[in-house]
Amino acid sequence: MVNSLPKLLSAAFITLKLLSVSLIIGLFIGLFFAILRLNKNIFINKFAYGYSYVFRGTPLLVQIFIIYFGLGQIEYLRSTVLWVILKEPYWCAIIAFALNTGAYTSEILRSAFQTIKPGIVEAGKSLGISNRVIFYKIQIPIAIRQSLPAYGNEIILMMKGTSLASTVTIMDLTGVAKYIISTTFKPIEVFIVAGGIYLFMTFIIHNLIKYLEKKYSFN
């Protein structure tokens, strides 16, 4: 019980690594697709909508399995350079997590963009600021501030989602907890400790977001 704690704590770092890498990639994917969603071109718009619809509408576990076990079955793929990445469970998990969180992030950012009052953009225009600068210096910062509470939620959901990495052989917090159980046969104790570590990580993320919300509040 006590001697399982160091193993679980070092596994928690793997969980954090999975989380942070997929969040960073997912944020860029999300921003990219949110901008596509605002595009007037119906094809671009529908393409971005289709992406978020598919990835929000299917379970994360299914997505990981399709990317890991599914793509691994395609013989052609195994002869391409892509296999260097897809061979590794770690990258398969990152791809699935990033695409999943990217879909949610694009929706969060899109709705944030749409809540920006037209008056703010017009005020910029009347001052003679270019559209580009308005977008990068006015719209994006406001959108990010607006989306902080919802995005904080997404980070926490994603953190819990990383536990699915254990299904594709990654020894993250859940994976190591299961491994310890397989030798000690004490599921309750080990899962309570692992759950406590997850809870602690949620606590940190929650407070970090709260701090950012306060720092960038409009009042």
Is residue 3 involved in binding other proteins (CB under 8 A)? no
Instruction: For other proteins, give the closer residue by CB, 87 or 125.
Output: 87
* Among 10, 130, 182, 207, interactor with other proteins by CB under 8 A: 182
CA distance 12 to 200: 11
Report if residue 72 touches other proteins, rule: CB under 8 A.
Answer: yes
Considering only 45, 111, 153, 167, the residue that binds other proteins (CB under 8 A) is: 167
185: contact with other proteins by CB under 8 A: yes
Cβ distance to other proteins smaller for residue 61 or 204: 61
The token pair that represents 7 in the structure block = 């193993």
Q: Is 78 in the site for other proteins (CB under 8 A)?
A: yes
10 lines the binding site for other proteins (CB under 8 A): no
Minimum distance from residue 48 beta carbon to other proteins (Å): 32
Q: If binding is defined by CB under 8 A, does position 89 make contact with other proteins?
A: yes
Per-residue HEC secondary structure of the chain comes to CHHHHHHHHHHHHHHHHHHHHHHHHHHHHHHHHHHHHCCCCHHHHHHHHHHHHHHHHCCHHHHHHHHHHHHHCCHHHHCCCCHHHHCCHHHHHHHHHHHHHHHHHHHHHHHHHHHCCHHHHHHHHHCCCCHHHHHHHHHHHHHHHHHHHHHHHHHHHHHHHHHHHHHHCCCCHHHHHHHHHHHHCCHHHHHHHHHHHHHHHHHHHHHHHHHHHHHCCCC
# of chain residues touching other proteins (CB under 8 A):
16
CB closer to other proteins out of 15 and 106:
15
What is the DSSP secondary structure assignment for residue 218, as one 8-state letter?
Answer: -
Residue 183 Cβ vs other proteins, minimum distance, rounded to whole Å: 7
Window of 15-23, 31-39, 55-63, 71-79 that interacts with other proteins by CB under 8 A: 71-79
Nearer to other proteins, 49 or 65 (CB): 65
CB 37 within 8 A of CB 109: no
Q: Which is nearer to other proteins, 54 or 61 (CB)?
A: 61
Q: By the criterion CB under 8 A, which residues form the site for other proteins? A: 69, 72-73, 78, 87, 89, 167, 169, 178-179, 181-183, 185-187
